Structure 1
Amino acid sequence: MAVTIKDVAKQAGVSPATVSRVIADNPRISSKTKQKVREVMEELGYFPNFQARNLVAKKSQTLGIVMENSATLAFQNPFFPEVLRGISTRAHGSQYGLYLSTGATQEEIHREVVEMAQGKRVDGIILLYSKIGDPVMEYLGQCGLPYSVVGRPYKDPETISYVDNDNINNAKETVEYLISLGHQHIAFVGGATDFVVSLDRMEGYRQALDQHGIPFVEAYAVNQELMQGKEREAIRQLMALDVPPTAIVTHDDMVAYEVIGYLEDLQIRVPEDISIIGFNNHAISKHLKPPLSTVDISIYELGLHAAELVLEKITDESVPPKQVVVSSRLIERGSCRRL
């Protein structure tokens, strides 16, 4: 005979309503009671019928996850599995599942988000990027569905729940680290300029140069739009300048890997001939030869907080928007040298 919620309540010495609230991870139930009820559930082999409960509560018990690219491309970047690990940890604690976007273009992703919201497939959405003029973020701001963002929104950030690093200051400190090693000719190889993180890191780069009296050289600033799929040639031209850079700050570790490969083709050695530093501290970075200096941006924590923000809004719609800044740290390895 199947174990019922009443059996769990009797064994735990609580009411069936309390068991239901524990299953829903209601914040009004104490941690002690939750632990006791969950132990009894496990002991009796009780598994809640979430489908039936969700139909009654009109909830999907699911969070939508929206990536900047199709799932296939996104998972090539180690950032996304790690941020999803943080989201999954928090979602699992509240017994939520995840629904990943699979669109391959901006139009497909936007349509998918509309279907998620209007079809009530999810109770909330986590947007894993922040982009200028993004129709997905504009729609989320209008449709009333709880959502959070990984990254600082470009418009009205105080009205949106988001989690981010201090990307301006992080980039500034990275450039200052290279200056402390004696570098004056520092290039920046950035990402697409319609992403807020790219703009913030470029701003930090320029601020550091300005505060140390180092002129900004236009030819040292290379972004995705300028490269237009010709990354190898862009790096060749950068290193062929009359005064080539002695150090390069890259948008993230993935870009650093590519740049190092192009430099090797040009027989330019890291760090003997040029220093290089990235962002994100992917697991493979410490295993490169030489190991890559990088900024650890606490990717797992970004995901964890993003999930907390949207779950809090799902539980109580009156909660005001919150902005969380996650700490970062510079990791010095072998890809940078003192001049």
Structure 2
Amino acid sequence: MAVTIKDVAKLANVAPSTVSRVIANSPRISEKTKQKVREAMEQLSYHPNFIARSLASQSTQTIGLVMPSATDVVFQNPFFPTVLRGLSEGAHEKQYGLYMTTGKTDEEIYDGVVQMVQGGRVDGVVLLYSKVEDKILTYLQSQDIPFVVIGKPFKNVEEITHVDNDNFRATKEVTEYLIGLGHDHIAFVGGNLNFVVTIERLLGYEKALRDHHIPLNNDYIVHEQFLKEGGQEAVRELLSLSTPPTALVVADDLMALGVLNTLDEMGIVVPEDISIVSFNNVLLSEMSRPPLTSVDINIFDLGYEAAKSLIQMIKNPKEPTKRIIIPYELIKRYTCSHPNIERTVQV
């Protein structure tokens, strides 16, 4: 026979309503009583019926997640499993589940979000990206549903709660790090320009060059997908130039891995012949050969804070709009050195 709230109440010597309040984590219940009830729940192996609770409270206890593109592409990049771990932990702490959109095209993903919202399947939504033009964000703004963006919104920044790094400042600093090593032929390998993170990092790179009176060479700016193949294509294009760069700022570790593999195939040695700084500091940064110098953007924290902020908005509709900036750190490994002025890179 299934264990009920009444069974838990009897063992804990409290009223069934008190058990319900403990399950809902009501502030009206003392920590001592909560502990006693939770111990009874554990002893009886009692698990709350969240479906029944949802019907009663008009709450799904679920957060919707919106990916930037098809999941088969997204999960090739280690950024997303890591940010999902943060979201999962932040949701789990408040007894929320996660509901992920699926779809192979932007249109299918949009339709999935509409069904998710209109069907009342979630209490709020997290966008795991920020685009320049995004009808999903526009749609969410038109609906009476809380949402949080991971990344800086392109428009209406003060009106949208978002969790982000200072990508402009971070890229300016890493470009200046390369300049400090003596490089003045520095290229930028970025992702899709429809993503705000790409624009912010590009602007930081350009600002560093201007501040140090280094001419901006448009041939040194290449945009590809945030995938290993994107890095491979970018580096071949850059090294085919008559004056190839001596250093690269790469917007993503997976792209940087593609860069390293291609350079190895070409017989170009890192960092003796060319230096590389990347972003995200995922596990493959340490495992690459040589280990990548990379900016740790604390991906887990991006997800954790997004879930935490969204649940606060769900519980309190008057929660003020927030801009949460997650700190970053340049992790110096073995892909940067002074430029080798004695050797001209040949393709």
- Cα distance in 1, alignment partners of residues 175 and 95 from structure 2: 43
Report whether the alignment pairs 1:249 with 2:249: yes
Using the TM superposition, give the Cα deviation of residue 75 of structure 1 relative to its aligned residue in structure 2, in angstroms. Answer: 1.2
Q: CA deviation at 1:271?
A: 1.0
Give distance in 2, aligned partners of 1:28 and 1:250. 51
Contact 2:176 2:208 in 1 (8 A): yes
Matches of residues 122-161 of structure 1 in structure 2 within 5 Å?
122-161=122-161
Offset at 1:6? 3.1
- Aligned partner of 1:21 in structure 2 is 21
Q: Offset of 1:312 from its aligned partner?
A: 0.7
- Tell me, what secondary structure is at the counterpart of 1:76? coil
Aligned to 2:343: none
The 3 A distance-change label for structure 1 pair 31 and 210 is farther
Question: Percent of aligned pairs with the same residue?
Answer: 52
Partners of 1:329 and 1:10 lie apart in 2 by 53
Compared with structure 1, are the counterparts of its residues 128 and 27 closer, same or farther at alpha carbon in structure 2 (3 Å cutoff)? farther
1:187-235 per-position Cα deviation (integer Å, ceiling 9, x unaligned): 000001110000000011011111111111111111139xxx8865543
Distance 2:51 2:288 in 1: 47
Aligned-pair CA distance for 1:261: 2.0
Secondary structure of the 1:257 match is: helix
SS of match in other structure, 2:8: helix
The one-letter code of the counterpart of 1:126 is V
Matched position secondary structure for 1:294: strand
The SS at the match of 1:243 is coil
Return the alpha-carbon distance in structure 2 between the equivalents of residues 30 and 200 of structure 1: 47
User: Is 1:61 aligned to 2:53, yes or no?
Assistant: no
**d(CA) in 1 for partners of 2:68 and 2:264?**
30
Deviation (angstroms), 1:257:
0.9
Aligned pairs for 1:152-171 within 5 A: 152-171=152-171
SS at match of 2:336: coil
Deviation for aligned residue 1:21: 2.6
CA distance in 1, matches of 2:189, 2:315: 42
8 Å CA contact retained: 2:294, 2:331: yes
Indicate the residue corresponding to 1:39 in structure 2: 39
> How far apart, in 2, do the equivalents of 1:68 and 1:61 lie?
23
Matches of 1:27 and 1:126 in 2, distance apart?
A: 26
Q: Hey, what does 2:200 align to over in structure 1?
A: 200
The 3-state SS of whatever aligns with 1:203 is helix
**Are the aligned partners of 2:232 and 2:255 in contact in 1 as well (CA < 8 Å)?**
no
Per the normalisation by structure 1, the TM-score is 0.94
Q: Give the Cα separation in 2 of the matches to 1:136 and 1:57.
A: 27
Contact 2:69–2:104 (Cα < 8 Å) also in 1: yes
- Which residue of structure 2 lines up, in the alignment, with residue 280 of structure 1? 280
SS in 2 for 1:200: helix
**2:303 partner amino acid:** G
Counterpart residue identity of residue 67, structure 2: M
Distance 1:36 1:158, change over 3 A: farther
Take 1:72 and 1:130, find their aligned partners in 2: how far apart are those partners? 19
Q: From the superposition, tell whether residues 329 and 16 of structure 1 become closer, same or farther in structure 2 (CA, over 3 Å).
A: same
- Compared CA separation, residues 272 and 251, structure 1 to 2 (3 A): same
Please, what is the CA RMSD of the aligned residues? 1.8
Q: Are the structure 2 counterparts of residues 26 and 324 from structure 1 closer, same or farther at C-alpha, using a change threshold of 3 Å?
A: farther
User: 8 Å contact 1:24–1:94 — kept in the other structure?
Assistant: no
State the distance in 2 between where 1:29 and 1:245 align: 64
Residue 334 of structure 1 is matched in structure 2 by 334
**Within 2, Cα distance between the matches of 1:230 and 1:183?**
24
Render the CA deviation track for 1:106-132: whole Å, top value 9, x for unaligned.
Answer: 111110000000001111111100001
Write the distance in 2 (CA, Å) between the matches of 1:6 and 1:233: 64
What does 1:260-271 align with in structure 2 at a 5 Å threshold?
260-271=260-271
Partner Cα separation in structure 2 for residue 31 and residue 223 of structure 1: 54
Indicate whether 1:121 and 2:83 are aligned: no
- Supply the distance in 2 between the matched residues of 1:149 and 1:260 (Cα, whole angstroms): 32
Taking a change above 3 Å as real, the CA distance of residues 170 and 2 of structure 1, as seen in their structure-2 partners, is same
Post-superposition offset of 1:236: 2.6
Match of 1:174 in 2: 174
TM-score (norm 2): 0.92
Aligned mates of 2:154, 2:58 — CA distance in 1:
33
The verdict on how the C-alpha distance between 1:258 and 1:33 changes in structure 2, with shifts beyond 3 A counting, is farther
Could you say what secondary structure the match of 1:148 adopts?
A: strand
